[in-house]
Amino acid sequence: MGTKGKVIKCKAAIAWEAGKPLSIEEVEVAPPKAHEVRVQIIAAGLCRSDTHVINPKFEGAFLPVILGHEGAGIVESVGPGVTNVKPGDKVIPLYVPHCRKCKFCQSPLTNFCTKFSEHKNPIIEQELMDDKTSRFTCKGKSIYHFLGISAFSQYTVVKDINLAKIDDDANLKRVCLIGCGFSTGYGAAINDAKVTPGSTCAVFGLGGVGLSAVIGCKTAGASRIIAVDINSDKFAKAKALGATDCLNPRELNKPVQDVIVEMTNGGVDFAIDCAGGSEVMKATVDCTTVGWGSCTFVGVNVNDKGLTISPVELILGRTLRGSSFGGWDVDTVPKLVSDYKNGKFNLEALVTHTLPFEKINEALDLLKQGKSIRTILIY
């Protein structure tokens, strides 16, 4: 391509400061350096994690920044040493790298990588490239990357270990959701909770991640899936995707966990928290059965104090675990894309809005107001 080795000028949405709308600006995107890839983003989804960083309550954010971590695109050019992709390949950038060399990458027990786990707060991880510089410049100022991806730019630069090469005929306007939301929820049920056939499940939070967890529970063969959200408008979608019961905690006369325990004769086998926050975390634990109740935590609530738990609750046989990106990595994501193409699950059901990239602030408003599950931005 004629742009190889040259700076590309394009449009990007920049967060200059917390609590303010994103600003569409012309940015300069530098060529990729060693083991880096420049990608033309074709479509991106909006995830709630993107909003955490621009929340005034969020601590430790790097600003100004180009957000976005759920996208799909086409390789424009590659830097020296890149062997896993070539120009023209369709790719999904992943915020979870896979170096294949560290103790985590070599273990079947996790999808973590040393390159991802160096910070206590992964949401502010990978804000610069490995040489501690940015590939983005706007108005003479260096702009931070976000989670190593920065999908809210028409072109971005990503490390080769953060890229999953996918089928040439993949629909990028749908499989971009595999970059975060779908994979996170679906994998939390399938890979991390390991939901079993005939089991009972509860899923807290019915955004894109939670609904994907519902799909995962159904795919795994759960006999009963109780979906919980404070927005009853989401219940019809949840039932269409496999939920058998829906509960709104604000419409109950007792704690939702007590209602679930009564409904299931002692509690569910598996509970998955896709909302976050101490109240939801406590309900997730309390709604599971003693003996073997499994609690999987996916959701994050900014600056929440977290879970306080008694040893007795664990001694009685419950297990707690966390889930990051649903246990997937750059080697397993291509199989998810193939499963979607083969009809194993329905990504269309998660898409409520499609907007041009320039209307990103409108998309953010829809998300904050609870009116969208996933908005796809088209570039």
Q: Which residues are catalytic?
A: 47, 49, 52, 69, 180
220 in Cβ contact with 198 (< 8 Å):
no
Place of tokens 């007590």: 258
Residue 118 buriedness (CB in 10 A; 0-12 / 13-18 / 19+):
exposed
Beta pairing class for 8-15 and 23-29: antiparallel
Place of tokens 């796809």: 376
